[in-house]
């Protein structure tokens, strides 16, 4: 299921300015290897949200090879930092190269391992937490990430419409995890949540 009409997607992309060489290379790799990245439309949203919240501390749960971190870095406040996490050493190595190319390596701390375990090990609270891990883990992410947000902080969650499978009869663990997350996010009194139907659905949960 297309979340947006393809003609609308093409129109939005036609409005989007060309990305720099680093982002274009990352997008090319994603297309060739069918690797899921947030893409330029959501990337611009991440940058805007970092600017709006005047973010200084960002924690990414599931960073891939660093595409979202580059967009976040462009909205990060001076002196801010981004902690990236991923289970793949190959992704970490590729991200390091892209961070050098983008000249943001001093802003990013990339850690390899289980994202939720790494979050538990890091002290303090965060302006933004990005959730893009395995979908069956989404309910646990909600329970563990929301308490780590500052008041007014954002939990940003990708793939919350899951190509329309959330409204079908798909009973796969990934789909069930996203449905459970969405219920938690909308019913919780700790956050105010909206899902933006952009790309594959982006949920914004602001800490009350």
Residue ranges per structural domain of the chain:
6-207
Kindly report the average pLDDT of the chain as a whole number. Answer: 97
Averaged pLDDT, 59-63: 98
- pLDDT tens for each residue of 71-87: 999 999 999 999 999 99
Q: Does the pLDDT value for residue 38 go beyond 90?
A: yes
Rounded to whole angstroms, the Cα distance separating 62 from 69 reads 10
The arrangement of secondary structure in 6-207, i.e. its CATH architecture, is: 3-Layer(aba) Sandwich (3.40)
* pLDDT value of residue 1: 85
Q: Is 157 helix (H, G, I), strand (E, B) or coil?
A: strand
Please report, rounded to a whole number, the percentage of residues in the chain having pLDDT higher than 90: 99
Q: Where are the alpha helices (DSSP H) in 34-163?
A: 39-53, 67-73, 89-102, 115-121, 138-145
pLDDT tens figures, 119-166: 999 999 999 999 999 999 999 999 999 999 999 999 999 999 999 999
Interval 192-206: pLDDT, tens:
999 999 999 999 999
**Is residue 177 very low, low, confident or very high in pLDDT (cuts 50, 70, 90)?**
very high
């Amino acid at each position: 299921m297309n979340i947006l009409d393809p003609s609308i997607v093409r129109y939005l992309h036609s409005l989007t300015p060309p990305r720099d060489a680093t982002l274009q290379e990352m997008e090319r790799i994603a297309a060739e290897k069918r690797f899921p990245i947030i893409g330029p439309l959501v990337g611009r949203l991440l940058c805007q949200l970092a600017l709006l919240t005047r973010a200084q501390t960002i924690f990414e749960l599931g960073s891939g090879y660093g595409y979202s971190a580059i967009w976040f870095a462009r909205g990060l406040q001076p002196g801010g930092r981004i902690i990236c996490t991923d289970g793949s050493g190959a992704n970490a190595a590729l991200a390091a190269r892209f961070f050098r190319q983008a000249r943001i390596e001093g802003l990013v701390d990339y850690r390899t391992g289980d994202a939720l375990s790494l979050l538990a090990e890091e002290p303090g609270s965060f302006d933004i937490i990005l959730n893009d891990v395995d979908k069956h883990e989404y309910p646990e992410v909600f329970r563990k990430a929301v308490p780590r947000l500052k008041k007014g902080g954002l939990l940003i969650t990708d793939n919350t419409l899951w190509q329309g499978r959330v409204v079908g009869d798909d009973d796969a663990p990934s789909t069930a995890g996203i449905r459970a997350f969405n219920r938690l996010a909308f019913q919780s009194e700790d956050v105010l949540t909206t899902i933006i139907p952009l790309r594959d659905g982006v949920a914004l949960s602001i800490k009350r």
